[in-house]
Structure 1
Amino acid sequence: MQFTGDDIDALATRFDKKLQRDINCLEDDDRSTRKRAIEKISSETVGRRDQLNQDELQDLFKAIIKPLLKRFSDPVEKCRQLSIKLTSSFLSKVKNYGDILPYLIPCVRSRLATPEIVEPSEEIRLQLMKLLLNLCNWCSSNDLAVYLDDYVAIIQRCIVDPFPDAKKESCNCIIAYANLIPSEKFQLQSESLIKPLTVSLAHQHSKVRIVCLKAIGVTLQKGSISPLNDILPSLAQRMLDHSPSVRSTLTEILANWMMNLMDRYSYFHKILPLLLTSQTDELPEIVELGKKLYDKVGEQYEKENEEELKDQLDYENPTLSSASRPRLGCRVLVQRNFSKILPALLRDAADWTVISRIKSTALLHVLLIHAEDHVTQHIGSLLPGLYKACQDDEKVVADQSESCATVVGKHVHPDIFVKLVLNAIKSASGGGGATATASSLGSCLRVFAAMLKECDTEKLSSHLQTICSTLCHRDICMTELLPCQIQLLHIVKAIITNAGINCKPYCKDLFKILIYILALQSNEGLHNQIEETLSELASCYETNDRLHLYKLFMRDLLTELKGDHGIWVSSSPERYVFECLLRSSGPVVGQMLDIAIPILISNLNPEKDPELRLKFFTLFSNLLVNANMTLNSEGTFIMYIEGVIADAIISNCVWKAGRAAAAMRTAAMSCLWALLQSGLATYEQLSDLLDEILTKVKSCIDDDNQSTRLISCKVLHKLLQICETKLDADALHNLYPDLLKRLDDNNNEIRVVVGKTWITYFRYCDELINYLQGLMNDDS
């Protein structure tokens, strides 16, 4: 490019004539010449020690801008770099840009805003972006507003630049440009920036993600807000970002939107869930930041709606006031947007991704804390969501859902939730024709237990009878599933803790539930908890002795069980409960023999299932081991001994083929041995049955089963000790061959026991000796 004579003359009068040659050398074909020319112009103008004044620099820059901008596309990277640097130096020192920008901006656009990358050097692209950013600091709003289309086109392309630093500078340029020009102008093109910004939100560098978030924050605040709906999913993902800096930056941006965004009231329900998510963060610092910023949002909301909220501000509920309670503005914001937020949140709580379910239930807990009793009108849709979330395989999700239920129980009146939850429990247990499902019953019980924890004691008292009677239903309290039983225990604990002595009228139902849980589970840890809960329940009667409860309620429970004891099988829940009552009631069982013994005898009928009889023989034997502290604690068991031996034990000693029958004979003999060993049976009680007993014992002594033979020998030994000399000669004579045969038994232990039996046998056989001598005398 050649300058006119007037231009060169003008320059010659102000600067050295050799500068004219350097300007012309900018067009030279030799790369070195062009490079030296740029360096020389720089050193003689902006790089001079004796600085030129602003007017001189302005005139000179105006004269050389066109050839200098042409070097922006120089094939040599160094020339491009130096020309951009010189241009930036001039721009930083001049004040009038009106004659410069019409040439500069289009030139930069031609280098950066093309579909394909024209500028191959990452550093040069970054340098050009810095030039545009600096223009925002040097120029006025009027200067740059007319170049909105150019700026947007350049930034759109550079936001998706593969060079991370260029991305960051592009975002900084958006922030600076949006803050510089009027909002009404920026709104015309702001929407076109959101898509490339959203793409860069997923960049691997956290610093890029941070500056993208800041750019989005300014773009939506200064420009059009309509793209907010499209960008929300991407912002939600950033709330889960692994970088704490990204999450804290987004929290600040969201809070700023809540306070300063145009038409923000229309978008509260969209921004609010994201902002409150910060209060569920894993880092305490971000949680604290989220609470602090939301408190400011609430404070501003109170001021903006002061007249509307005046009464609520003046008459806060003193029973709920506490340091941890959110301020009124924060609560009202949630309450007024809760209906719009809840449906989507419940859907996310059932999402297939674990992290979504975790975050959704955590956010729900925060929302419920703010919503307080406002949640009442949404209880119908909330409870099913909590039931489902409490079934989640992920422990964190289930635990957070339980916490949500606790908050609901604290603020919702029992008149509302008790009936709803009890109906759900009945349905889940199989009541009303529905099919029982373990997971759904367990989750309903878990939600109910959580809701009762902090429920108002006075409001709950009128519902205790309904609650206790419902939970006592067979389909509910007789469940054998550990998760359901654990939750039943928690419900009982919550009722005892909440109602205290007021639950005394319902102690029978609570005792029944605890006994059923105790009976149907073998978990030792659970048993310990039940024992503790029984002691707490006994405190309603001003005692910590749980046996007092057995004295009060055991007879009624046994009476209930007696109704269908004839159809029990070994797996019947009632059988477990009966066994539990007899085992755990200690000396109290001695007061219940009139009910317990008939049930025992009935279920030891030889026609009953062998497995069932085996269970009852084991129970009976265990009780007889310490009979004075169980069956005979009242000294009345001796009244039942004859019936037990005749109807329960001897009848099961009859020989039958098969393993089951063999096992039953062993069990029957073991029970008889325990009875004789207890010392309760005397000769007078046994005399009427002695012949039949000895017949069955003699049969079992010769049994194929080794255990049966051993126990039968022990029984015979004990019978001889009890009868002493009262046993007649015929009976002793009939025992002789069987005892003699056992001396040849292949089991050492049996032979030892038989040896001891012989000693007892001869000790009490005077009558037999006399009998034999008489026979001998008769023969002679």
Structure 2
Amino acid sequence: MARFDEEYIAKIKTDFANDNFKVRKTRLDELRADVEKELSIPDPNIALSIVKLAIKMFFDGSESCRERAVQVTSICLNSWSLPVEETVFIFFPILHKRLGNQENAETSEEIRLLLVKLLKLSIQIYREAIPPFIVDIIDILNRRIRDRCPDVIKESCDCLDELVLTVPEFRLRSEQIVETVIIATRHKHYKIRVAAVHSLGRIISLARCESIQTVCGALGECLLDQNPHVRRAVYKVASLWLMELRDRYSFFHYILPLILTGLNDENCSYRNEAQNWWHEIGLQYVKENDELLKDKYELLPIELENYPFDVERPNLGCRTIVSKEVHKIIPTLLKELEDWKVEVRIRASELLEVMVLHAEINIVSLLETILPVLCKVCSKGEEVVTQRIVKSGEIIGYFISPKIYWQLMVPQMKANCLIGHYIIFASLLKHCPKTHISEQFNEIISMMIENNFCETRELISLQSLLKIISKLIDCCEGVSLDDNSLKNLHLAILSTMAFGNEDIRNEAADLIQKLARSVSLSIHDLHGKCLPSLFNRLLSNCEMWESYSFDLSILMVLLSLFSGPLKQQLIWKPGRTVEVIRATALSIILLFLKRNGNLSSEFFSEIVPLVISLCEDSYEETRIYSLEILSYIGLHGGRNIDITLFKQILIVVAGRLEDKRDSVRLKAIQSLRNILLKAPRLDSLKGMPDFENILKSLHLLFISVDDSNEQIQDSILEIFKVPQIVTNVKSVFPEEIISSFIRKCRHKNVSTMLETCLKI
């Protein structure tokens, strides 16, 4: 056993002063062994002298000597009872020089770690003597928490925790280190981030709360951390604050988002923990405010009828806390929904859902602010965010009557109806009680029709519109529905057929059946009740239609639904009235072709023969529409037009060049141009039946070019200006025949132009 006396100290001094580092190292090893073996406590002055000598070795040039010196000092402080005042006044300034001073800072990471551990030990031992050195210690921790070595940073955070717990005087100066710890929450090592989060939690819990807003902002960023341990640390800290923090009610609006975000954490275990902590917070709040909440607790139902959500309803305390703070949190949350970072938008949408679920009816005062933002965000097409916002809308719709949010949404939809308006409106109606919808039923349907709400062409909007219509139809069951509302619902369904894809049209067809069942009518009777007024509407404004007119699109839907009855109107019958009906039917078919381009085999087999026969109808409009349809067929028929049909169409159309009406003749010329543009090689038809009739038809074209009507002359000359047509015609007419046509022209200018076009 070593005997610690003056002679022993003299040997230590001598060896520590030796230039050979091996001698110093050996003496430090022996000193450490002696201190570890010494059971009796040496004289305090001797012990202090040994510690002083060891501390001086903190500046030794040898890294191994400095390491041993720190170890010896740690053992001495932990084992011996040293004079407090003398020790701390020597010890802390030296530590500050090695850890907090830029010039004399320790270069070895391993030794810096030992020094920080030594600092933590000294705080535990000399807690009552710390106050004079708080500034130095804060300086040390500010530097070491920014250290390059992860272990040093983590140990520094632990040291900070010890300082907060054991030295009350530090709490008055805690603001000086908050920013440094916040920086550590962004460190690349997750364990350091976790340690920093816990350190911030203790600083706010035990020290001053002036920085709580800044700290909560930093912890809010940690909620986006990919490592679940970091997020769990935030939930834990937030739950402790909500239960233990002094004046915590004043800071609820800062802290609540931290714990409520945890209710949707992707890690199931940590999500359940957060839910349990939050439940306990609510129970504690009820106990603390028993008198204030007594009436609510006794009168309000714990379970709501038809509560539609797949979660347990939050307890009264949780709902009350959120309801009191929601107006402070929502504005910031709405800004985050439009943040440039995807993860921020997703977290904000998740938190919004939780806030709305807790606030319940109390969210009503914020609807004017919330709904426009939700509609705007949903219009951006971000699927994950939209799904969460839709759930928020469903919750709002369950608790809030349409009478309230309807008044807020209508002006927005009239001004600029976006995709988001359809999505949000559909979500609001999804879980809304039927009795609430019934109060606004007629008003909702009228607005949908009168304000172009049903004229959307966006697929997502159409899907949402179908959901809205389906919910409205559900409310029709067992209710007397007036004719106007029924017709508007019917028209709304037809509009989705007009602009939707096949899936939309199929779903709309199902809704037609659903609507018929809800009002106890057959499909035939439903159409019979709704279509007369709809046709009157279409007829009243058809002259103003453009290619994208809503009413034209509705007409196209009706044609596709009722093509059979329309075909019957093309069959010739005597009488002036049926003449007009035939012309109208042809005009509808022409519009349908131009809109949908539907040239199916069924169309060619059933409709085209009827159209060809009507080219000789006595009614001028009928002949014109027939020629225009054949012109469209000739240009767009493609493979559906075989040789036989081509010959038939060419002969019939050319025959109209001798019509008594110039308007019909001009339409025939225009039709011939389109037919000849897509015609097969005419010389390949030689020897076929009707070839002579084809030549006669082309002969009529040459004869008609010499017509006295200049408009007809010009129209035919335009045909002969097309090289493709000229080449095809010349393939079946010898040059001498063409020359004779030119010579026989009565109008010199026509013969000149024709000769130029044909290049004879």
Q: Give the TM-score of the pair, scaled to structure 2.
A: 0.77
1:511 correspondence with 2:490? yes
Residue 59 (structure 2) aligns with: 73
Cα shift readout 1:415-453 (whole Å, capped 9, x = no counterpart)? 21112222221222xxxxxxxxxxx43221221111011
Q: Distance in 2 between matches of 1:551 and 1:642?
A: 33
Cα shift readout 1:319-373 (whole Å, capped 9, x = no counterpart)? 2578611111111111101111111111111222222222212211111011100
Q: Distance in 1 between matches of 2:517 and 2:337?
A: 41
Residue 247 (structure 2) aligns with: 263
Q: Distance in 2 between matches of 1:63 and 1:264?
A: 50
1:475 correspondence with 2:448? no
Superposition pairs of residues 218-367 of structure 1, within 5 angstroms: 218-317=202-301, 318-319=303-304, 324-367=312-355
Superposition pairs of residues 324-723 of structure 1, within 5 angstroms: 324-428=312-416, 440-473=417-450, 475-502=452-479, 504-505=481-482, 506-521=485-500, 523-542=501-520, 546-585=523-562, 601-602=583-584, 612=591, 615=594, 646-652=619-625, 663=631
Q: Please say if residues 616 and 623 of structure 2, whose CA atoms lie closer than 8 Å, have aligned partners that are also in contact.
A: no
C-alpha displacement at 1:395, in angstroms?
2.1
C-alpha displacement at 1:496, in angstroms?
2.3
Q: Distance in 1 between matches of 2:474 and 2:263?
A: 30
Q: Distance in 2 between matches of 1:709 and 1:152?
A: 90
C-alpha displacement at 1:665, in angstroms?
8.6
Residue 22 (structure 1) aligns with: 11
- Residues 229 and 542 of structure 1: is their aligned pair in 2 closer, same or farther, counting only changes over 3 Å? same
C-alpha displacement at 1:241, in angstroms?
0.9
Match of residue 123, structure 1, among 107, 110, 113? 110
Q: Distance in 2 between matches of 1:668 and 1:226?
A: 77
SS of residue in 2 equivalent to 1:355:
helix
Cα shift readout 1:145-172 (whole Å, capped 9, x = no counterpart)? 5543332222122111111111111100
C-alpha displacement at 1:385, in angstroms?
1.3
Q: Distance in 2 between matches of 1:43 and 1:618?
A: 99
Residue 97 (structure 2) aligns with: 110
- Residues 36 and 667 of structure 1: is their aligned pair in 2 closer, same or farther, counting only changes over 3 Å? closer
- Residues 319 and 622 of structure 1: is their aligned pair in 2 closer, same or farther, counting only changes over 3 Å? farther
C-alpha displacement at 1:22, in angstroms?
2.4
Q: Distance in 2 between matches of 1:475 and 1:365?
A: 30
Q: What runs of 5+ residues in structure 1 fail to find an aligned partner?
A: 1-10, 429-439, 633-639, 655-659, 678-690, 712-734, 747-780
The residue type paired with residue 39 of structure 1 is: D
Residue 165 (structure 1) aligns with: 151
Superposition pairs of residues 126-137 of structure 1, within 5 angstroms: 126-137=113-124
SS of residue in 2 equivalent to 1:132:
helix
Query: Which region of structure 1 is more displaced relative to structure 2, 526-535 or 26-35?
Result: 26-35
Cα shift readout 1:268-319 (whole Å, capped 9, x = no counterpart)? 1011112212223333333222222211211211111111111112223342
Identity value in percent: 26
The residue type paired with residue 352 of structure 2 is: L
- Residues 538 and 41 of structure 1: is their aligned pair in 2 closer, same or farther, counting only changes over 3 Å? same
Q: Distance in 2 between matches of 1:597 and 1:463?
A: 47
CA RMSD of aligned residues (A): 4.5
Q: Distance in 2 between matches of 1:114 and 1:644?
A: 107
Q: Distance in 2 between matches of 1:161 and 1:669?
A: 79
Q: Distance in 2 between matches of 1:464 and 1:111?
A: 78
1:91 correspondence with 2:59? no
- Residues 143 and 667 of structure 1: is their aligned pair in 2 closer, same or farther, counting only changes over 3 Å? closer
C-alpha displacement at 1:502, in angstroms?
3.3
Cα shift readout 1:462-511 (whole Å, capped 9, x = no counterpart)? 10000001101262223334343333222112222455443744332111
C-alpha displacement at 1:661, in angstroms?
9.1
The residue type paired with residue 295 of structure 2 is: D
The residue type paired with residue 383 of structure 2 is: K
Q: Please say if residues 22 and 38 of structure 1, whose CA atoms lie closer than 8 Å, have aligned partners that are also in contact.
A: no
The residue type paired with residue 76 of structure 1 is: S
C-alpha displacement at 1:586, in angstroms?
6.4
Query: Which region of structure 1 is more displaced relative to structure 2, 527-536 or 577-586?
Result: 577-586
SS of residue in 2 equivalent to 1:409:
helix
Q: Distance in 2 between matches of 1:592 and 1:365?
A: 57
- Residues 704 and 392 of structure 1: is their aligned pair in 2 closer, same or farther, counting only changes over 3 Å? closer
SS of residue in 1 equivalent to 2:619:
helix
C-alpha displacement at 1:600, in angstroms?
6.9
- Residues 597 and 258 of structure 1: is their aligned pair in 2 closer, same or farther, counting only changes over 3 Å? farther
Query: Which region of structure 1 is more displaced relative to structure 2, 262-271 or 56-65?
Result: 56-65
Q: Distance in 1 between matches of 2:637 and 2:98?
A: 104
Query: Which region of structure 1 is more displaced relative to structure 2, 16-25 or 193-202?
Result: 16-25
The residue type paired with residue 258 of structure 1 is: L
Q: Distance in 1 between matches of 2:479 and 2:362?
A: 29
C-alpha displacement at 1:577, in angstroms?
1.1
- Residues 507 and 661 of structure 1: is their aligned pair in 2 closer, same or farther, counting only changes over 3 Å? closer
SS of residue in 2 equivalent to 1:52:
coil
C-alpha displacement at 1:66, in angstroms?
1.8
Q: Please say if residues 604 and 613 of structure 1, whose CA atoms lie closer than 8 Å, have aligned partners that are also in contact.
A: no
Q: Please say if residues 19 and 41 of structure 1, whose CA atoms lie closer than 8 Å, have aligned partners that are also in contact.
A: no
Q: Distance in 1 between matches of 2:73 and 2:43?
A: 12
Residue 754 (structure 1) aligns with: none
Residue 204 (structure 1) aligns with: 188
Q: Distance in 2 between matches of 1:271 and 1:563?
A: 62
Q: Distance in 1 between matches of 2:146 and 2:258?
A: 26
Q: Please say if residues 653 and 669 of structure 1, whose CA atoms lie closer than 8 Å, have aligned partners that are also in contact.
A: no
Q: Please say if residues 398 and 428 of structure 2, whose CA atoms lie closer than 8 Å, have aligned partners that are also in contact.
A: yes
Q: Distance in 1 between matches of 2:636 and 2:407?
A: 51
Match of residue 163, structure 2, among 133, 153, 177? 177
Q: Distance in 2 between matches of 1:579 and 1:386?
A: 35
Q: Please say if residues 323 and 362 of structure 2, whose CA atoms lie closer than 8 Å, have aligned partners that are also in contact.
A: yes
SS of residue in 2 equivalent to 1:115:
coil
Q: Please say if residues 566 and 585 of structure 2, whose CA atoms lie closer than 8 Å, have aligned partners that are also in contact.
A: no
Q: Distance in 1 between matches of 2:606 and 2:321?
A: 69
- Residues 705 and 395 of structure 1: is their aligned pair in 2 closer, same or farther, counting only changes over 3 Å? closer
Q: Please say if residues 603 and 613 of structure 1, whose CA atoms lie closer than 8 Å, have aligned partners that are also in contact.
A: no
Q: Please say if residues 130 and 167 of structure 2, whose CA atoms lie closer than 8 Å, have aligned partners that are also in contact.
A: yes
Q: Please say if residues 631 and 675 of structure 2, whose CA atoms lie closer than 8 Å, have aligned partners that are also in contact.
A: no
Cα shift readout 1:66-87 (whole Å, capped 9, x = no counterpart)? 2222112122222211111111
Match of residue 128, structure 2, among 133, 142, 147? 142
Q: Could you list the runs of 4 or more consecutive aligned residues of structure 1 that deviate by over 6 angstroms after TM superposition?
A: 586-597, 616-628, 640-645, 667-670, 707-711
Residue 738 (structure 2) aligns with: none
Residue 719 (structure 1) aligns with: none
Residue 30 (structure 2) aligns with: 40
- Residues 648 and 59 of structure 1: is their aligned pair in 2 closer, same or farther, counting only changes over 3 Å? same
Q: Distance in 1 between matches of 2:153 and 2:449?
A: 67
C-alpha displacement at 1:517, in angstroms?
1.9
